[in-house]
Amino acid sequence: MNNKNDTIIIVDDNITNLTIARNNLADSYDVFTAPSGKKLLQILEKVTPALILLDIEMPEMDGYEVIKILKESQRTSNIPVIFLTAKIDPQSEVKGLNLGAVDYITKPFSGELLIKRIDLHILFEKQKKELLKYNLDLEKEVSKKTKTIMELQSAILKTVAELVEYRDSITGGHIERTQHYLSLLVDFLLERDVYVNELSSWDINLFIMSSQLHDVGKISIKDDLLMKPAKLTDEEFAEMKKHTIFGADIIKRIEENTTENEFLYYAEALAVSHHEKWDGTGYPFGLKGSEIPLQGRLMAIVDVYDALTNDRPYKKAFTHEESIEILRQGKGTHFDPVICEIFLEHEQEFKNRVYTPAVRNGRQQSLNVALTLEKTVDSILNAHGSSGGIEKIRRHLNLFLEVLSNHENYKNEVSGWNIDLFLLSAQLHDVGKIAVKDDILNKTEQLTNEEFEKVKSHAGFGLNIINQIKENVDHGSLLHHAEALTGSHHEKWDGTGYPLGLKGKEIPLQGRIMAIIDVYDALVSDRPHREKKTHSEAVAIIKNCSGTHFDPELVDIFLEHEKEFEKAEI
């Protein structure tokens, strides 16, 4: 066993013992000798050994005193210590082991036995360090994988939630504010040990994240109801109340198409129960008291508080004080009295820590919505190896759409699109990857044929998710671009793409555009299995795939403007 690079320090007040030990170990280790504990501590200021041989019986400072000092210092506490002693008894051995010694060697010692014992402990320490490093690396990898899954889930939730707010623009910011208030309320409940048994079993971060979908069912409600500038009629309100059922149905359908769907558990409970009331007069099921899921009882309070303190089409915002009084009156009728009381006790903190997201100026400013999603959707792209970020994708798409809107063959179709909505919908083009297992999505080596088939399934899953949401949407135009982009951006001009094997202009224009931008961005970005290519290399690959992978006319237009795309890289 070659340990020449390992250092051993021998501590003994007997020069003969030092000499014998050094001579036996010198061929295998770098050896330092110290005649006392004090000298050892001086050497340790400059040298960190792999192991210390420490005599017990020494004047001034015995071995027991020395090891206590070593174990009290963070720098030396992990250095293994073997006691050297001329005599041994059970009590002394136990004392030394309790102080942190790893072994005893009796003097006079055999040189061969000394080397074997030291080799064994050096090997053990190395294996222990390797195991510790492995565990730390494993923890980091698990943490990284968990973070990736959470970012992907959050991105999908937020993107769908933003599509809801895109329609219900008068309540802009409601989702972000209620998330903020919900987080505060949960913290206050935990501080007071209220509902602590149930809350402690939750993944609180996942719960807060899932609250983004509490109003997802509004995607199924007609625009004239969502934005009516007057109080709803009884018939209209009955229609509006259906958004809770629609929301739960949408989430259930997404669950059916995903393998990693735990994160939707909270979302479903929130969507269906946040309008139930403590006295049983709420909707959709008229649940009463603790029959209402705790998720819904929490959401009910922050949802109403935010609605009261912000403008609505039929009313101006109430003051914080007016809103608090309304909540107080609803304690025990509308709201869980225990939760409501804690909210009221902390009402000044809700007032002082009011959350004000960036103001959105109506539907014409929906590009601002897309920009606020930049960081979130970047998580989707990074999670699947499409590094470079949504900002770059958005720039490339926006640039290509501007070019096409002025091109003779495309301006009629492209100029009729809502470009802001197109850019927002493009963020859902890979939503189906939620149904692909994490170990495949994050694999750093090239995929096997079987694994690639599973990845390819994301296009079909994504299309199913969009279509199932669309079934309950009166205004299908909202998801028109998302459907086309999700289902067709992996189709190829020659019919060899997926999921449907569409060919030529059977492929929607949105998909033919996204195919070029998606591949270009992938080529000029680093991937787990390869480094990024230069702009020129990427352009050459796209040119070579004209008429096979890509629409040849769109490739020609792309090539005419490729220098502009290169500038957009910066």
- The predicted pLDDT at position 260 comes to 54
Res 514 pLDDT > 60: yes
The backbone region for 567, taken as left when phi is positive above 0, alpha when psi lies in -120 to 50, beta otherwise, is: alpha
Tokens describing residue 535: 């702009």
Res 158 pLDDT > 90: no
Res 246 pLDDT > 90: no
Homologous superfamily (CATH) of 174-356 is Hypothetical protein af1432 (1.10.3210.10)
In percent, the amount of the chain with pLDDT more than 90 equals 36
Question: Directed axis angle between helix 37-44 and helix 63-72, to 10°?
Answer: 20
User: Average pLDDT in the 502-515 region?
Assistant: 94
The backbone region for 505, taken as left when phi is positive above 0, alpha when psi lies in -120 to 50, beta otherwise, is: alpha
Q: What is the pLDDT of residues 109-130, one digit of tens each?
A: 777 888 888 888 888 888 877 7
Q: What is the pTM of this model?
A: 0.47
Homologous superfamily (CATH) of 365-569 is Hypothetical protein af1432 (1.10.3210.10)
Q: What is the pLDDT of residues 213-241, one digit of tens each?
A: 888 888 777 767 777 778 889 999 999 99
User: Average pLDDT in the 194-205 region?
Assistant: 90
| Burial of 161 per CB tally in 10 Å (0-12, 13-18, 19+) | buried
| CATH 3.40.50.2300, domain 7-109, yes or no | yes
Pairing of strands 81-85, 51-55: parallel
7-109 shares its CATH topology with 365-569: no
Q: Where does the pLDDT of residue 146 fall: very low under 50, low under 70, confident under 90, or very high at 90 and above?
A: low
**CA proximity to 166, closest of 345, 363, 19, 438:** 363
User: Using H for helix, E for strand and C for coil, what is the string for 468-504?
Assistant: HHHCCCCCHHHHHHHHHHHHHCCCCCCCCCCCCCCCH
User: In whole angstroms, what is the distance from residue 244 CA to residue 276 CA?
Assistant: 10
What residue ranges do the domains of the chain occupy?
Answer: 7-109, 174-356, 365-569
**CA proximity to 174, closest of 270, 346, 305:** 305
User: In whole angstroms, what is the distance from residue 48 CA to residue 57 CA?
Assistant: 23
Strands annotated E in 301-396: none
Q: Are 191 and 245 in contact (CB under 8 A)?
A: no
User: In whole angstroms, what is the distance from residue 87 CA to residue 105 CA?
Assistant: 10
Q: Which residue has the higher pLDDT, 278 or 20?
A: 278
User: Average pLDDT in the 504-528 region?
Assistant: 89
Q: Which residue has the higher pLDDT, 251 or 282?
A: 282
